[in-house]
Every structure is written in C-alpha cells, then in structure tokens.
Copies of this chain bind each other. A is one copy, B any other.
C-alpha cells in the first residue's frame, strides 16, 4: 500500500509524501530564513523539527544543518545524510506515526501554509555552470546562428559542452527581470545599435544542485557522480538574443545571459525522482572511457512553459518538453566538469542547457519556436516573437506516478522595462 501522510494531499498536488522537496523560506517578511520541505499545501519547518529533537538519526542529530539560512551544510553531508533525512521525514509525516500528528503545539509551530510563506534562494551558489546537452537545441541554434551546414560543432558528440555562467544574478522564482540593455549586431558598416534588448527570450532548463564537492586536482568518476548530486530545480536561463549574437564570438555568452537566471524554490531530490528514471539515449559515437558509465540514466519529467501577457488573466502554453530529451546525462556532465581537476563545491549549480525535443511544439525557447523571429506565436490571439514588457513566463515540471505526482511547482518571472 502506498505511503500516505496524515496531512491531506490532493492527488494533483506536486508535493505528496513521496516527494518532500527542500526549500528555504521565511514564515513571514523579516523573519529568519530556514529550511523546509513541501507537503501538500504546507511547508514543514525543519528548524522547528530539529529543535524538537526529531532528527534523531546518527548523522543529523545535532548536525546543525537545519538551523542554517541555506541548504549548503546539508548538501555537504552527502547521500547518507540525505537518506537519513528522507527516512526521518517520511516517517514523521506518515499517517501511522503519532509523534507530529498528535502533537498539536508542534504542528502549529512547524506546519505553515505555503500561501503564507516567502520562498528565498535555497542555496548559496558559489559557481554556476550551464551545459548544452539537448541535441535538438544545439542543432536548432547552430542552424539559426551559423547556418544549416554543419549546425552542430564536431566536438558536440564527444563532450558535454558547457560554459561558466554568472552566479550573482541567479534569483528565486517570482523575482522580476529587468529587460537588459546592450549592444546588438550592427547592420553593415553602422555602429552597433544600443538600447533595451529587442530579442528577449526564456530558456526552458533544469539544473542539478551539487552536494559534496571534490578537491582541486581530483576528478570525480562518472560512476560515482550521482552521489555528488542532491537534486534538481527548474531553471529559466533568460537570454537576450541580440546581445548574445553580437558578443559571443570567440569567448561565449556573457551579457546576453548574465542579467538574470531564475530557479524554482523547491529542490526535488534524486531519491524522489528515482521511480521516474529511464534509460538515457544511446550515444554514438561511444563516449571516451571517462564518460562511459555503467548505468546511463535520464528522468521522465514533463516540462511546460506558459506565457501570461501583461493585462491578461490567462497564461498560454507555448511549449511542452521532457527532461529525457537530454543527450548527455547529469552524471556525465558532472564527471566531465571535473576531469581537468576543477573543484565543485556544495551548492554549485549545473544547468542542463535548454531542453528542446524533436518536434517544433517541444522547442525550449522563443529563438527556436519563432525561428529567430521569422515566425510568430499566437497567445490566444496576441502575437509574440520575443518577450514583451509585462510578460510573465511560467515553467512547470512534474513526473506523474501511479496515483501521485513528483512535481517541481513552478519557476516564474515577469519582464519589467529597462531602467532609464
């Protein structure tokens, strides 16, 4: 019989007892941020649970990691601690366990309606890396930016290409994004045009949160890489295509990306996603030994992007994709990242890159969906080539199980005009 909580959870909820994603929240404005897990329409305050002595396993007892304003300390403890926390919390929240269920005072203190709390960034992000792991995205972008002859660079099939992103401008879902200003590609011999970006885009991504890191000079084996990943979030890697197109040769994307990156507040653990793991695509050519893994896993996570234009009541689905469209796995990404000795640290963020599927309806950004503005989308009659001021972009992700969902909630952000 399926595990069930004493807290009522609607079957359509993203947050049943099988999920228990981690976030950091303030119960009210101005209060101290603390870790929590989502359960149904509530967040369970883990600092209250720790203070009540209910994290009584050998690793987490007195670890102090639930009295922190971020999850980095829990991340650093590694998989044994994460398993212990999950076992403790699933027991505590189950319908058959009285210790929290029958303790009204502790319930009052520790279970807070999600609608009342403010979510904040769950981790202190030291470094943010963004990969480029969807073949369809790579092919479409290559075709648009460099033409249809050999759109995919020859290195793409041999290594998970990535670049360093900007960590300081990563914000939590719900934060407004200011339209960036910058230079675009010049026409002929004119100087480059300067002003607010006219090709502002979203990118549908997910990102892995790094747990224990590795020492500088000591690569992580691809078959052990999963133990370095705590979980996943949804991510919107906002992109200004005009700025990006002009600046990115030869050193890669910079200001076209660094004005803001939004992540969802809830980190869904790899443990919770395990029932939705599936075989990763066959790789041809066979990867080099350091990237050849014994078990090559993807996850079946349905992804969707909606846009809600300013002044409209409804949002409109613009694409549907799936995490399993990735060619390179999370573990290959992580192993590749460290093969040169680069050190990862708890809380580092590894973006997957835009997750596009093969069909035009599954492309992960407007650049692809409107083919760089050559076509337009209709949002129930409102045309869109790129994002307009006031547009809100809402990403959601969910794995649908037998009678329950493992969901990520949403990752949203609204475009506000450039500052004068």
Residues of chain A having any CB pair with chain B under 8 Å:
126-127, 132, 142, 145-146, 153-155, 158-159, 161-169, 171, 178, 180-183, 186, 191-192, 194, 213, 216-219, 240, 243, 246-256, 258-260, 285, 288-290, 336-337, 339-345, 348, 419
A246 closest partner in B (C-beta):
B155
A287 to chain B, nearest CB (A): 9
- Contact residues in B for A167 (Cβ distance below 8 Å): 126-127, 167
With A250-B252, A252-B248 already in contact, the answer to whether A166 and B217 are too (CB < 8 A) is no
Tell me which residues across on chain B come within 8 A of A165, comparing CB atoms.
164
A154 to chain B, nearest CB (A): 8
- Chain B residues with Cβ below 8 Å from A248 are 250-252
Contact: B252 with A127, CB < 8 Å? no
State A258–B128 Cα separation when bound (angstroms): 13
Task: Please give the distance in Å from A284's CB to the nearest CB on chain B.
Answer: 12
- How many copies of the polypeptide does the oligomer hold? 2
Q: Please, how many angstroms separate the alpha-carbon atoms of A342 and B253 in the complex? A: 13
State the CA gap A341–B166 with chains docked (Å): 12
Q: Are B342 and A168 in contact (CB under 8 A)?
A: yes
For A146, A192, A255, A289, the residue with the greatest tally of chain B CB atoms inside 10 Å of its CB is: A255
Q: Across the interface, do B343 and A168 meet the contact criterion of CB distance under 8 Å? A: yes
Given A247-B155, A250-B252, A252-B253, check contact A342 B161 (CB 8 Å). Answer: no
Q: CB < 8 Å: which of B162, B182, B219 contacts A340? A: B182
- Which of B158, B171, B343 has a CB less than 8 Å from the CB of A191? B158
The listed residue (B161, B218, B247, B336) touching A159 by CB distance below 8 A is: B247
Quote the shortest CB–CB distance from A341 to chain B (angstroms).
4
Q: Which residues of B are found within 8 Å of A127, using beta-carbon distances?
A: 166-168
Within the complex, which residue of B164, B181, B343 is in contact with A254, where a contact is CB–CB below 8 Å? B164
Query: How far is the CB of A108 from the nearest CB of chain B, in Å?
Result: 37
Complex contact A155–B249 (CB within 8 A): yes
Residue in B192, B240, B251 whose CB lies within 8 Å of A288: B192
Contact A183-B158, Cβ < 8 Å, known A169-B342, A419-B217 = yes
Nearest-neighbour CB distance to chain B for A247, whole angstroms, equals 6
Return chain B residues, CB-CB under 8 Å to A164. Answer: 163-166, 254, 258
CA distance A164 to B129 in the complex (A): 9
**In contact, A194 and B259 (Cβ under 8 angstroms):** no
CA A254 to CA B251, docked complex, whole Å: 10
Could you list 13 A-B pairs, sorted by A, with CB under 8 Å? A126-B126, A127-B166, A127-B167, A155-B246, A155-B249, A163-B164, A163-B254, A164-B254, A168-B348, A194-B288, A248-B250, A255-B340, A259-B340
